[in-house]
Structure 1
């Protein structure tokens, strides 16, 4: 039994070492979703377009400020991802949150919402609004293959709990669990994996220039 535990521990240690280094890590896209052009307003009241985000990778999610279930844990998890990126010295990226309740989520409401979280670098965040409900439902489906639906007579919006990695060309190339109550399962949020993937995309981008 002790020998078996030692073998398992050794294997986990090896995997951890491999994941901690990007030098031998070959990033492989698992999806290829071209993001449609958009022009939106972020939580600072500034215009943001798809072209503005091109040239560096970004991590996307769908949230809304009036959410009483998964949005706050998702935003907290994204801040942890950013902390992992900070630890690795990664700078050339953005974090984008699309509001799925744009009628309520003014730039001021989104700014107040983000203030609740101790994010390592707020300047890299864009919480977006400035469109109607029909647009975000169509945009989420066409660009991310994600369901967004606001039921009638309900102030809660059905939406994805997924994080999406978008490359420097505006193509979603991978997705991850953005929320899970199972901390020690295969469905847990892969903070380190996301950070390594972002770092690897940046290194590959610079290498291919």
Structure 2
């Protein structure tokens, strides 16, 4: 292959990625339509999220392992996002135990953390099978009820949903949250 042609091709690829804000996803799944209720008992649908990049995760309030640190990590991420002056974003935490996690229980759980609920919704108001299906189909994550305890198995990732409603990226949400990368990706998607 001609060296000059390879150089021109490589330059074009670099320029195209720079023009796209440098965003590079690691997944591409359509967010299934949903219509749930949030911690205030208000309806929130997938359509309500259209037009804004969304940071999402899965938790449940009775979790005695990963959910408290994951929620703490999300609050840190929210502070970092707002510290960078990013205003065009939403956050959503889907409960994987909707039977126990009523809006009142979710409000009590949220009260344990220093978070801004103006753009962060904790969701419930659906059947377990619905959230299990949503997690698998839209986020490639398993949500499984442990019949021998009151605990659930669920994804520990943080996900990014594009303004068009596509789940485009997953990040570690438990041990090493890449805040700078998530913020850069939010900015890239928010400007698109």
Q: Give the TM-score band, short-chain normalised.
A: 0.7 to 0.9
Task: Kindly tell me the number of residue pairs found equivalent between the two proteins.
Answer: 175
Deviates more, 1:132-141 or 1:32-41: 132-141
Match of 1:123 among 103, 118, 123: 118
Equivalent residue runs for 1:18-37 within 5 Å: 25-37=21-33
The runs of 5 or more residues in structure 1 that have no matched partner are 1-21, 181-187
- The one-character-per-residue Cα deviations of 1:146-175 (angstroms, maximum 9, x if unpaired) are 000002142000001000000001101111
Q: Give, in whole Å, the separation in 2 of the partners of 1:25 and 1:98.
A: 29
Which deviates more from structure 2 when the two are superposed, residues 23-32 or residues 144-153? 23-32
Alignment RMSD: 1.5
- Residue 193 of structure 1 deviates from its aligned partner by 1.1
Q: Does 1:57 align with 2:45?
A: no
Query: Residues of 1 paired with 2:181 and 2:22: CA distance?
Result: 12
Q: Distance in 1 between matches of 2:20 and 2:31?
A: 29
Kept after mapping to 2: 8 A contact 1:39/1:48: yes
Q: Which runs of 5+ in 2 are unaligned?
A: 1-17
Once residues 81 and 177 of structure 2 are traced to their aligned partners in structure 1, the CA distance between those partners, rounded to angstroms, is 15
| TM-score, normalised by the number of residues in structure 1 | 0.81
Q: Does 1:86 align with 2:74?
A: no
The structure 2 residue matched to 1:143, chosen from 138, 141, 151, is 138
Is 1:162 aligned to residue 161 of structure 2?
no
The alignment partner of 2:152 has SS state of coil
Tell me if structure 2 keeps the 8 A contact 1:151–1:157.
Answer: yes
**Cα distance in 2 for residues equivalent to 1:31 and 1:40:** 24
What is the match of residue 196 of structure 1? 184
CA distance in structure 1 between the aligned counterparts of 2:127 and 2:142, rounded to whole angstroms: 16
Deviation at 1:28, TM superposition (A): 1.6
TM-score (norm 2): 0.88
Aligned equivalent of 1:175: 170
Partner of 2:7: none
Say whether the 8 Å CA contact 2:20–2:188 is kept in structure 1. no
